[in-house]
Structure 1
Amino acid sequence: MSLFGFFLLTYVYIKYKRDPALWWGLALLLLFVSLASETINLVDVQVLSRALFGMLVLYGTIGLLEEEKIVLSKHFRILSLVPLIVTGYVELGRVFGYSQDWFVSVGIPYAISGFAIVLSGFFIFSLLREEYNQKARFLGVLLLFYGFHQMLYPFTRVATKLLPFTFVISVFLVALAIYEMGKFTLSREFITRDIPILKVKMKPGLLFISPKKYEELKQLLKDFPVLAFVRYQNFPETWKTFFVTSIHEHESDIIFPTALPLMSARVVQYLKEAEEKGTRGIVIFDCLEYLKMYNGFEAIAKFLSSLRDYALLYNGAVIGVLDENAWEKKELVILQRIASSVEEIQLG
Structure 2
Amino acid sequence: MLGPTSYETMKFGAELIAFASITIVSYLVFSMRRFLANSFGRKVSNYTVLGVLIFWSGYLVNLLNEIVQTHFMKVLDDVLVATGSFIFVISAFQLVKGLPLSAKPGKVKIIGSSIPSGAYYVTGLAIEELLRMLSGKRVLAITRNPAIWENLGIPYIWLSNIHTPNSIEPTKLAPLLHHVLANSDRETFVVLDNIDYILLYNGPEATLKFLLALKDNLLSKNGGLIVFADPRSLPSQVFGVIEREFLPL
TM-score (ref. length: structure 1) = 0.37
Bigger radius of gyration among the two: 1
Q: Structure 1 or 2: larger helix share? A: 1
TM-score (ref. length: structure 2) = 0.50
